[in-house]
Amino acid sequence: MKHGVAIIGTGAIARSHIAAYNQFPEDCEIKALCDIYPQKAKALAEEMEINVDIFEDYHQMLERTDIDIVSICLPPSVHAEVSIAAMDAKKHVLVEKPMAPSLAECDAMIEASERNRVLLSPIAQNRFRTSMMRLKHMISEGIGGSVLHATVDSLWWRGQNYYDLWWRGTWEKECGGCTTSHAVHQLDLLQWMVGMPQEITAVMTNVGHDNSECEDLAIAIMKYPGMLAQMTASIVAHDEGQQLVFQTEKARFSAPWKIAASKALENGFPEDDTQTAKEMDSYYNNLPEISPERHAGQVKDFIEALEGKHPLLIDGKQGRNTIELIMAIYKSSQSKQTVTLPLAKDDPLYTRGGLIATMPRFHEKKRSIENFSTSEITLGKDAK
């Protein structure tokens, strides 16, 4: 069966979705694009050389019976609303990160998926990379023993004008700063690899973006049974250095891949354990490669799950986990207290209204444009 696909929202990330679906012409066909700026959708269709129908109203588009997969590439504030409408129309949904602005909306999306018996998969394209799959295997299989310490660096750089786009830089529309918009990738990888922490202590600020209410720098410490993890989220880092580092009992593993191992001298000081490092490096490099990667890898996983070949690698509940980490970071930074997980449904940070009412405004958003003249984006110098 060939699946009909529609994409709602034709900003920069929509190109990645179109390119991903186009890798599977025998399994799916893009039928429609939808955007509140229909000329923008038409221009994207021409650029990507796809013959599709253009819609301005997604409700009208969802009436199409030849569409059964919908990719949602919209601002975070409408992810839940549009996802639920699509699932109520019996469409399977791939929704861009972050899954939703609040845990309440995540729960409503999960309920809609279950009620309509359709798939819901939040985009987490970095899971679908050989380096991450190998690292996940090493940790899950305990190749280095228990993880003792994890370091997560989500380091990006964005200019002042990044926040001039109308929906960015507000708690109401973007629903957060660099933790929500950028570190969501690394936080997803962390909770996928080592699970959810028991406690989070965090601080955040805005040091370089005066047209944003939200944070551009955040640091969090997460407590697990037997280990600690620390995360830095930034969009003021010129080198855009992104990495995940896991210090295990036997060795250091990381993405980008780097192996190191130590053994104790008679006085407890270290010397290189070259044999262990060599063995683990060989083990890592002999793990299978995956193809395709990133968005195309997730689309492949989605189609195969839709056809009953295996469960989704990332479903709504996994996507919700990442949002819970973000909300706990926000709550801790605002309250200046350690936050215990899970967050309760009566917590102010459970709802979007609570998030908007609770979080500080670092600056007032004064500049706003509808669209940039260029649609080019960079994906960062991220972990290979």
Peptide bond into 342 cis (omega under 30): yes
Please compute the mean of the pLDDT values over residues 136-163 and round it to a whole number: 96
Mark whether 133 and 166 lie in a shared domain. Answer: yes
pLDDT digits (tens, 9 = 90+) for 272-318: 999 999 999 999 999 999 999 999 999 999 999 999 999 999 999 99
CATH of the domain at 100: 3.40.50.720
- Which is more confidently placed, 166 or 325? 325
Mark whether 7 and 152 lie in a shared domain. Answer: no
Q: 240 and 156 in contact (C-beta within 8 Å)? A: yes
CATH of the domain at 139: 3.30.360.10
Contacting residues for 364 by C-beta, under 8 A, at least 6 apart: 213
Please determine, for residue 239, whether its predicted confidence score (pLDDT) is greater than 70. yes
pLDDT > 90 fraction of the chain, expressed in percent and rounded: 92
pLDDT digits (tens, 9 = 90+) for 70-98: 999 999 999 999 999 999 999 999 999 99
Query: What's the CA gap between 189 and 180, in Å, rounded?
Result: 14
Q: How confident is the model at residue 31 (pLDDT cuts 50, 70, 90)?
A: very high
Burial of 14 (0-12, 13-18, 19+ CB in 10 A): buried
At 219 the three-state DSSP class reads strand
Mark whether 194 and 270 lie in a shared domain. Answer: yes
pLDDT number for residue 262? 98
Which pTM was predicted? Answer: 0.94
Q: 156 and 382 in contact (C-beta within 8 Å)? A: no
- Which is more confidently placed, 376 or 150? 150
Mark whether 265 and 277 lie in a shared domain. Answer: yes
Residue range(s) defining the domain that contains residue 148: 127-290+320-358
pLDDT digits (tens, 9 = 90+) for 177-188: 999 999 999 999
Mark whether 274 and 248 lie in a shared domain. Answer: yes
Query: What's the CA gap between 101 and 90, in Å, rounded?
Result: 23
pLDDT number for residue 384? 47
Please determine, for residue 110, whether its predicted confidence score (pLDDT) is greater than 70. yes
pLDDT number for residue 260? 98
Mark whether 81 and 210 lie in a shared domain. Answer: no
pLDDT number for residue 368? 84
**Number of separate domains in the chain:** 2
pLDDT, mean over the chain: 95
Nearest to 96, CA basis, from 62, 114, 115, 70: 70
